[in-house]
Amino acid sequence: MPANAYVAVVLYEATSDSPTYEPLYREDFVLVYAESEEAAGEAVARRVEGETGSHRNEQGELITLRCKRVVDVARALEDDLTRDADLYARHFRDFAAYRRFEPLTAD
């Protein structure tokens, strides 16, 4: 069975041992190639494991990055990724909630 393209949405959280640090969240869209959705999920889990860990920032604070959740793993919307292509789509009904979350939608 040939490998197919899958897109995963992964949510990370960065925390610190500093009492003034506010958690920072990062949403990644990851492309993996796998023979099945299950294999794609396993590939994403391996990538997530490689991304998590701790380091010291310029101020000497311990910053820890961890995966909060793999939000979704879905087959790419198009098979030919050698040209412009749609990769992934999500649907929602509450645009006001989305605007509160996504600052780039501000008018």
Q: What is the CA radius of gyration of the chain?
A: 17
Contact partners, residue 76, CB within 8 Å, separation at least 6 = 4, 5, 6, 7, 31, 85, 87, 88
92 versus 13: the higher-pLDDT residue is 13
The residue ranking higher by pLDDT, 25 or 99, is: 25
Residue 82 has pLDDT above 80, yes or no: yes
When comparing pLDDT for 96 and 64, which is higher?
64
Give the whole-angstrom CA distance, residue 103 versus residue 22: 17
**pLDDT over threshold 80, residue 31:** yes
Mean pLDDT, the chain, as a whole number?
Answer: 93
Is residue 29 predicted with pLDDT exceeding 70? yes
| pLDDT computed for residue 100 by the predictor | 84
SS (H, E, C) 49-88: HHHCEEEECCCCCEEEEEEEEEEEEEECCCCCCCCCCCCC
